[in-house]
């Protein structure tokens, strides 16, 4: 039980960092050039500088990370009250 709780707590801490990092993104400033690059394990790259596309991807990442954070929180509470 303690090992599972520790894993969940570590996952929550990691997700908290991810959410904080995603929240810190500033897109669309006149003096900045937004760029997103995705690279797969084979070295294939996709790069875009379209701010609206990058914003949508960042929003999707936030949404998925927030959902995972909430799921992890629920698992922690369930384990703590078991």
Q: What is the pLDDT of residues 18-30, one digit of tens each?
A: 999 999 988 876 6
Q: What's the pLDDT band for 62 if we cut at 50, 70, 90? A: very high
**pLDDT, position 81:** 86
pTM recorded for the entire structure:
0.84
Count Cβ atoms within 10 A of the Cβ of residue 31 and give its class: 0-12 exposed, 13-18 middle, 19 or more buried. exposed
* Eight-state DSSP code of residue 31: T
Alpha-carbon distance of 45 to 48, in angstroms, equals: 10
């Amino acid at each position: 039980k303690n090992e599972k709780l520790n894993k969940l707590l570590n996952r929550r801490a990691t997700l908290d960092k991810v959410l904080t990092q995603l929240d810190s993104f500033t897109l669309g400033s006149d003096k900045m050039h937004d760029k997103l690059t995705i690279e797969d394990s084979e070295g294939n790259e996709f790069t875009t500088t379209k701010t609206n596309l990058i914003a949508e991807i960042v929003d999707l990442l936030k949404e998925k990370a927030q959902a995972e954070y909430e799921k992890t929180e629920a698992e922690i509470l369930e384990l703590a009250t078991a």
